[in-house]
Amino acid sequence: MLRMEVIYGLSLIMFVIGFFGILVRRNAIVMFLSIELMLNSVNILFVAISKASGALDGQVIALFVMAIAAGEAAIGMAIITSYYRKKGNVDIDRAQLLRW
Amino acid sequence: MEIKDMALLVVLLPLVGAFINGVFCWKVGKKAHLIAVPAIAIPAVIALKLAYMVVNGLRFDDVVYWWITVGNTKIPIGFRLDELSTVMVVTVTFVATWIHIYSIGYMHEETDRGYAKYFSYLNLFCFFMLTLVLANNYVLLFVGWEGVGLCSYLLIGYWYEKTSAANAGLKAFITNRVGDFGFLIGLFVLYKVTGSLIYKDVIEKANLLTPEVATIVGLLLFSGATGKSAQIPLYVWLPDAMEGPTPVSALIHAATMVTAGVYMTARSSVIYSMAPIALDVIAVVGVATAMFAASMALVNNDLKRILAYSTVSQLGYMFVGVGVGAYSAGIFHLFTHAFFKGLLFLCSGSVMHALHGELDIQKMGGLYDKMKITALTFIVGALAIAGIPPLAGFWSKDSILHHAYVSGHRGIWLVGTITAGMTAFYMFRLIFLTFFGKPRDKHLVEHAHESPLIMTIPLIVLAIGSILVGFAAILPNGGFEGFVNKALVLREVGGHHEEEASFLIILSVVVALIGIGIAYSMYIKFAPDPRRLSQTLRPLYLLLYNKYYVDEIYFALFINPTVEISRWALWKFVDVMIIDGIVNGVANFFGVVSSVVRRIQTGYIPDYGWLVIIGVILICGIKLIF
């Protein structure tokens, strides 16, 4: 049985990696991966705490998160694909038409 | 069929007709009368059946449907069928039926859509008028009251391309608003005191009204009547309303709608019976209007406007009847007036039809040979309105003057009798100038021809009515007035003075004959010559000819100040500066603020990410501190 601190640490590290990925990377697909990483870090936390406390709610929510992440991945990838077809790249810095 | 269903059918059939002709006007076109005439003729037949039942003692007052229920306030759609409303329903449906038939001939030159529109409005008017007279509460009466006002507006402005017609419609509508304002306030006061606006409840709880409150309510309700029934000071719209088609003038502005005020006053007899001051005001206003309007009719040269002033004058008589406490005499005059004034208007329409819309009686003359039926029926109507026995007007006008005399209103009686002479004079002046003498505009009169049968038959029917309906006064069981009195709440009046009655009758007939005689000598024998007379009495003539400058005075006192205040204070200041200022100020404020704040939206996703982090840190920090 792992200590809970280890799992908290793992989750935190994954979340921070994902977060900084979003902030510093310019490639849309990599940013997308970072988001998945953040979602999964939260999932780990949910499942671990659910297992430790004996309540099933956390695991149910983890399942929901996965389903939503799948849907989000489909839409996100579709957007990125059509963006690529139009512009020939997926560089976030150049995608800034929607602004003041 | 139950009575309730019959009453509903009477009210709703014209609405159905109006709906079909109005919605499918491009389909029905010139066949609109095939729907419109049955839609009022069938109610007329049912109304006769109802009248027969009411004569045999039936009374009906029931709710069809609870319309508004809020807390303790309950307002039904319900009908009250008693002697008073029966008289009104029979009059309205009968006269309206014949005017619908007459309109088929009169309006046949209109465009297809205009024709259907006309009949649709006419049916709609009948619906509202029947709602007004059959309602069993003041709110439903008010619905009909406003509805007939709307239809009056629509039909006065029927030829809306003509500016004068459109303006006349507006004038009628707005003038009525002034009176209706008082009417509504009166209803509110009445509701506050009695807690109900259903006639039955008002009669039961009338003892809650103190004489002061009854006087206030009575006067406020009467202010509505002055608008609708064209009494001083709100009569100004009725002469202008003659811009509408002539059958409309006959139906709405002579026979039915303008009498709604008299009906309403009689219906409120329970209130007026406790307010003798209000009754005196009504009587004085009535007789003043009768005299005032008759004097303007003496010199006017417009065929229809003379009849319009005559209508105002006769409505004044009806209010005299009501004001001296003889409601049934007022209603009787309303009943007979519907026949002979409807007839007179239809005859004037027939003359207009023959002369291609010419209305100036100074150009006419000698029309008797060209159109005998119109001329003869017109003379019947004029004799009736002048009060020559045994025609209808004699019985009803004489009854009003009799009641005024015996109730002690000698001054009102005197003015009323003089006005009767004036009435006879101006009616026969009209006849002599129009139908007799030499044509003054030969070209105009040359091509005149009698109207088709579809127009002359209604004339004949109404002429027979004008001769016969007066005899309702001497039917058994108190005659017409005894019949109507059963539906009223009356104060005790002094005993009758039968020995004076015959003297009064002879006097009023003599006065009428004198009026006719003067008209004959002036306009047939030219002694004195009316032209020279108008020169001799120039200031008086001009005063009358210009209608006492009342329109000009109203413009100077009310209309122009209202327009100026609206323009400078309300439009240029309140609307432009305050309201527009606030609206535009709000928009400008957000424009300025967001021109700064919107710089946050850089379009770089990482920037948004940083903002999210800052936000999370802030929220966590606040959570930790507090």
Instruction: For residue range B555-600, list pLDDT tens digits in order.
Output: 999 999 999 999 999 999 999 999 999 999 999 999 999 999 888 8
pTM for the model: 0.81
Question: Which of B536, B515, B509, B549 is closest to B298 using CA atoms?
Answer: B515
Secondary structure letter of residue B196 according to DSSP = -
In a domain, A12, yes or no: no
State both tokens at B506.
């002879």
Chain B within 8 Å of A70 (Cβ-Cβ)? Answer: no
pLDDT at B475: 84
Amino acid at the residue B417: T
Mean per-residue pLDDT for B376-388?
94
- Residues of chain A with C-beta less than 8 angstroms from the C-beta of B609: 19, 22-23
> Quick check: helix, strand or coil at residue B84?
helix
Question: Phi and psi dihedrals of B581, rounded to 5?
Answer: -60, -45
Identify the H or E element spanning B478. none
A36 is a domain residue:
yes
A13 inside domain = no
Q: Which of A29-33, B410-414, B432-436, B523-527 comes out lowest in average pLDDT?
A: B523-527
Tokens 């929220």 belong to residue: B619
Report the pLDDT value the prediction gives residue B538, as an integer from 0 to 100. Answer: 87
Is a pLDDT exceeding 70 seen at residue B253? yes
Kindly determine whether residue A93 and residue B602, on different chains, have CB atoms separated by under 8 Å. no
Q: Does B493 have pLDDT greater than 60?
A: no
- CB B601 to CB A23 under 8 A? no
Please determine, for residue B498, whether its predicted confidence score (pLDDT) is greater than 80. Answer: no
Which residue pairs from B161-164 have beta carbons closer than 8 angstroms and sit at least 24 positions apart in sequence? B162/B243, B164/B243
**SS3 string of chain A?**
CCCHHHHHHHHHHHHHHHHHHHHHCCEHHHHHHHHHHHHHHHHHHHHHHHHHHCCCHHHHHHHHHHHHHHHHHHHHHHHHHHHHHHHCCCEHHHCCCCCC
CA dihedral sign of residues A66, A67, A70, A72: negative
In a domain, A98, yes or no: no
How do the pLDDT tens digits run along chain A, 100 residues long? 678 889 999 999 999 999 888 888 888 899 889 999 999 999 999 999 998 888 899 999 999 999 999 999 999 999 999 999 998 888 888 887 777 6
Could you give the CA distance from residue B140 to residue B79 in angstroms, rounded to a whole number? Answer: 9
- In whole angstroms, give the CA distance from residue B127 to residue B348: 26
Inside any domain, residue A37:
yes
> Chain B contact for A19, CB < 8 A?
yes
Task: Give the pLDDT confidence of B10-67 residue by residue, as tens digits.
Answer: 999 999 999 999 998 888 888 999 999 999 999 999 999 999 999 988 888 988 889 9
**Which stretch of B204-213, B276-285, B332-341, B558-567 has the lowest confidence by average pLDDT?**
B204-213
Partner-chain contact B604 A19, CB within 8 Å? no
Domain membership flag for residue A51: yes
Does a structural domain hold residue A70? yes
Q: Tell me the pLDDT band of B425, cut-offs 50, 70 and 90.
A: very high
Q: How confident is the model at residue B351 (pLDDT cuts 50, 70, 90)?
A: very high
CB B73 within 8 A of CB B192: no
- Report the alpha-carbon distance of residue B50 to residue B58 in Å, rounded: 9
Judged against a pLDDT cut of 70, whether residue B494 lies above it is answered with no
Partners of A22 on chain B (C-beta within 8 Å) are: 605-606, 609
Whether residue B291 is predicted with pLDDT greater than 60 in this model: the reply is yes
The rounded distance, in Å, linking the Cα atoms of B235 and B567 is 27
Bridge partners of B63, per DSSP, are: B78
Residue B476: its pLDDT value, please? 82
Partner B, chain A 30-69, Cβ-Cβ below 8 Å? 31
Looking at residue B501, what is its pLDDT? 73
> Nearest residue on chain A to B597, judged by CA atoms?
A100
**Cross-chain residue pair B605–A99, CB shorter than 8 Å:** no
Does the CA dihedral B504-B506-B507-B512 come out positive or negative?
positive
Q: Number of structural domains, chain A?
A: 1
For residue B499, the model assigns a pLDDT of 60
Contact assignment for A31 to B603 by CB distance below 8 Å: no
Alpha carbon distance B583, B565 (integer Å): 23
The pLDDT of residue B533 is 85
Closest chain B C-alpha to A92 CA, distance in angstroms: 7
Cβ-based burial of B119 (10 A; exposed 0-12, middle 13-18, buried ≥19):
buried
**Nearest to B430, CA basis, from B386, B468, B389, B467:** B386
Contacts with A, B 584-623, CB within 8 Å: 598-606, 609-610, 613
Residue numbers of the domain that contains A78: 27-90
C-beta atoms of A22 and B604 within 8 A: no
Average pLDDT value over all residues in chain B: 91
Report the C-alpha gap between B516 and B324 in whole angstroms.
Answer: 28
Q: Which among B111, B125, B117 is positioned nearest to B22, based on CA atoms?
A: B117
Q: Do B602 and A100 touch (CB under 8 A)?
A: yes
The per-residue pLDDT for B604 is 80
Q: The domain spanning residue A56 has which CATH number?
A: 1.10.287.3510
- What's residue B251's pLDDT? 94
* Band of pLDDT at residue B496, cut at 50, 70 and 90: low
Predicted confidence at residue B409, as pLDDT, reads 87
Examine residue A47 and state whether it is found in any structural domain, yes or no: yes
Q: How far is CA B495 from CA B57, B270, B277, B323, B342, in A?
A: 27, 21, 21, 18, 35
Q: Are B115 and B29 in contact (CB under 8 A)?
A: yes
Residue A22, chain B, CB below 8 Å: the answer is yes
In angstroms, the CA B431 to CA B388 distance is 15
B198: left (phi over 0), alpha (psi -120 to 50) or beta: beta
Q: What is the distance between the terminal CA atoms of chain B, rounded to a whole angstrom?
A: 80
What's the pLDDT band for B439 if we cut at 50, 70, 90? confident
Helical pair B112-134 and B260-267, crossing angle rounded to 10 deg: 20
pLDDT of residue B335: 94
Establish, for the pair of chains A and B, how many residue pairs have beta carbons separated by less than 8 Å.
32
Do the Cβ atoms of B33 and B103 come closer than 8 Å?
Answer: yes
pLDDT at B390 over 90: no
User: Phi and psi dihedrals of B493, rounded to 5?
Assistant: -110, 160
Q: What is the pLDDT of residue B584?
A: 95
Residue B545's pLDDT is 87
Best mutation target among B600, B602, B605, B620 (most A Cβ atoms within 10 Å) is: B605
Task: Please tell me the predicted confidence (pLDDT) of residue B497.
Answer: 54
Confidence of residue B122 (pLDDT cuts 50, 70, 90): very high
Q: Measure the N-to-C terminal CA separation of chain A; round to a whole number of Å.
A: 53
